[in-house]
Chains A and B, each alone.
Chain A
Amino acid sequence: MSLPEPFRLLAYLLGIMAFVGLNAAYLVWVERKGAGRFQRRPGPTEVGYAGLLQPIADAVKLLTKQVIVPPGADATLFRLAPVVVLAPALMCLAIIPFGPHLVAREINVGLLLLFAFGSINVMAIMIGGWASRNKYAIISAARVVSQDVAYEIPMLLVVITMLMVTGTMDLNQIVRQQAGAFWNWNLFKLAANPLMPVTFVIFYICMLAETNRAPFDMAEAESELVAGAFTEYAGMGFGVFFMAEYANIVVGCAVATVLFLGGWQSPIGILPGAFWFLLKLYALVFSVVWVRWTFPRTQFYGLLNLSWKILIPIALFTLILSSVMLKLF
């Protein structure tokens, strides 16, 4: 790296913020366009070519709206929540390797840091819901807490399994181990653990639940709780929650890419790593959009049952299986 360290970090900071901003804006466009296609309609078409300027129009609309703090609400916490929800997502992206050298900060405990910061957005939704002093928002806040407690466990069990297989918490190191063709990806490392694809599915489901995406969107649940924790938010307060949702999806999919799909490794050895990373990342993001517009929402207790009765036992089994495999071979 030719740039001195402080400038390099500053450049990465700006880059990550721009990346999150653009992603949040254009994933909304992808989501709306995708939803349109799944529902046999064109989606946004009016603002710009194929509606490409729609996110900008939306952002301008949200920015010009008044930020209303409802009377009776806890004003400090109410304003704090949108900040707390977005910041951890930015932090997580700082250690995601986009390419062999394209990473803001290589940390040897990257995986730990990811999940430490990843859990904060739950707290933000809880703060927002509680501070709103709205019954729907409080129900939603309570749901989010129990949902995330339930899904943090199988997710971390999966991550521990991965740790056993990889033997390192350094994300870039994990990616380097998966060099070569696609059967070297952790997803297909059946020699280390024959249940690897199952592990990936569990991780994917947990990621959907952690980011509060349909069919597990208990926090928003617009047909039950109006808009859940975000009911009282107007203008950019709401906009930031919205951005954070997409930022968290990007983070979740990026982690899945790094852990299971070989990160920036190219399966055929051509084109730069960043291209392959983004390709895999957006393929996963698209699948998240696809799931949302295909399935109805689960019941809340159905969701908890899925975690405690199905996912956690399977995750535990895979954990034990891979430790046995590790010991034997």
Chain B
Amino acid sequence: MTTEEIMAVAQGKAPNETFVLNLGPQHPATHGVLRVKLTMDGEYITRAEPVPGYIHRMQEKMGENRTWAQYLPNTSRIDYLSAMAYTHGYVGAVERAAGIQVPPRAEYVRVITSELNRISSHLVWFGAFLLDLGGFTPLLYAFDDREKILDLLEGITGSRLTYSYYRFGGLYNDVDEDFLGGTREFVAQMRPRLGMYRTLVTENIILRKRLEGIGVITPEQCRKYGATGPVIRGSGIAYDVRKVEPYSVYADFEFDIPVFPEGDSMARYLVRMEEMGQSLRIIEQALAKLPDGPVMAEKVPRVLKPPAGDYCYAVEAARGRFAVLVVSDNKEMAYRIKLRTPSFSNLSLFEEVSQGMMLPDALALMGSLDLVIPDIDR
């Protein structure tokens, strides 16, 4: 069946011999409680309708009845895999609202921990994606590396997944020698591991055949749906919040934005693999430049009452642009918190791009979007 024929069925011009396949909310490939209603013609997808909302927790509404500080732990739980960046987004927005200056040491540590967290998030994606493609073994190798990152972060934050490490004006506590030495060691260990993944996994012929030319997303589609992160960079647009609107101290570092113009699943795969190497570069530079000094701004009031107004702060999370808009009316709670999460926009692409694809290819596409379900539902 050609794509035209499928389109004819989809537009009602040909007899409908399709059936509805319910992918999820409990399905091994959706990695969470995402449900996709697939209209199938044999193994071809004529329509894919994502049905989010199974893990909707009213994260935005919760911001309106908690104090500024009480809302802080929530941010780690939106995208639990890149919790550091999400806390960074919220903390940054509140700091901008309250006009708090963060000391340089705190900013550098934020960059180091955010980048470590990005690597660990990409490692989870790497393992889970290969699992979607039917390869079990890389998952265990990836988790081996991720374990080292979690141990490092646990040492300074006391938590392995939902860190809440950044506070308004700085950090919860200073980093110690164990962390700095451990991170240096990790960077040295991780480089050869990335080389190993390249030779063992990236160059595997079955993997390349499964990903090359599958799920091509055009730059126009990216713009239409507001896709960001590795998805847009895999479509040839060098959009990275760290470069286009540098926040924190990212302007001080030298790093490249990996861009692949093909727009297929392989391009998105390669973007993430390259990004891990770039994150290592940033960590290395930040460790070398790490200044001394306090990690907490002086005179941060116990009860924050930022002046009335709208404040926005965007960060590059592992899945793309995460932006927080806080609206303050000079009270101890926010008037409104709006979260712009990357997975939601990236999922929106799925319906259009998956049309006419075969089920396994569509799942490869979904895996390459790197969806985190609480990030979609919030």
Contact = CB atoms under 8 A, between A and B. Distances in A.
Contact of B136 (A39, A136, A226): A39
B141 A296 contact: no
Interface of B: 19, 21, 27-29, 42-43, 130-137, 139-141, 144, 204, 206-207, 209-210, 358-361, 363
A295 B136 CA distance: 8
B27 A296 contact: no
A143 to B, nearest CB: 8
B360 to A, nearest CB: 5
B358 A39 contact: no
Contacts of A221: 134, 360
A298 B140 contact: no
Interface stretch (A70-78, A254-262, A299-307): A299-307
A298 B144 contact: no
A287 B359 CA distance: 29
Contact of A223 (B43, B132, B209): B132
24 contacts: A39-B140, A41-B140, A135-B19, A135-B21, A139-B43, A142-B43, A143-B43, A215-B134, A215-B206, A223-B28, A223-B131, A224-B29, A224-B363, A295-B204, A296-B133, A296-B135, A296-B204, A297-B133, A297-B135, A298-B210, A299-B209, A299-B210, A300-B360, A301-B358
A40 B131 contact: no
B113 to A, nearest CB: 27
Interface in A104-147: 135-136, 139, 142-143
A293 B138 CA distance: 9
Nearest to A293: B137
Given A139-B43, A223-B29, A223-B131, A293 B136 contact: yes
A298 B209 CA distance: 8
B209 A40 contact: no
A35 B359 contact: no
A40 B140 CA distance: 8
Interface in A62-109: none
A279 to B, nearest CB: 26
B43 A40 contact: no
Interface in A208-231: 214-215, 217, 221-226
Give the most central of B19, B134, B135, B206: most A CB within 10 Å: B134
Contacts of A40: 140-141, 144
A112 to B, nearest CB: 34
Contacts of B139: 39
Contacts of A223: 28-29, 131-134, 363
Given A135-B21, A222-B28, A298 B141 contact: no
A39 to B, nearest CB: 4
A142 B359 CA distance: 14
Contacts of B28: 222-223, 226
A132 B137 CA distance: 31
| Interface bracket on A | 20 to 34
| Nearest 10 interchain pairs by C-beta | A297-B134, A296-B135, A39-B140, A296-B133, A223-B29, A296-B134, A223-B132, A224-B360, A223-B28, A39-B137
Nearest to A217: B134
Given A135-B19, A139-B43, A295 B206 contact: yes
A308 interface: no
B368 to A, nearest CB: 13
A142 B363 CA distance: 19
Interface in A272-311: 293-302
A300 B363 CA distance: 13
Contact of A302 (B137, B144, B209): B209
Given A135-B21, A296-B210, A224 B359 contact: yes
A233 B29 CA distance: 20
Nearest to B20: A135
B24 to A, nearest CB: 10
A201 to B, nearest CB: 15
Nearest to B210: A299
Nearest to A294: B137
A297 B131 CA distance: 9
Nearest to B207: A296
A38 interface: yes
B141 A39 contact: yes
Interface in A15-63: 35, 38-41
Given A142-B43, A297-B133, 11 more contacts: A35-B136, A143-B43, A223-B28, A293-B137, A295-B204, A296-B134, A296-B207, A298-B210, A299-B358, A299-B360, A300-B43
Contacts of A293: 136-137
Contacts of B135: 295-297
B27 A38 contact: no
A7 B136 CA distance: 47
Contacts of A35: 136-137
A139 B360 CA distance: 12
A294 B130 CA distance: 11
Interface in A189-220: 214-215, 217
Contacts of B27: 226
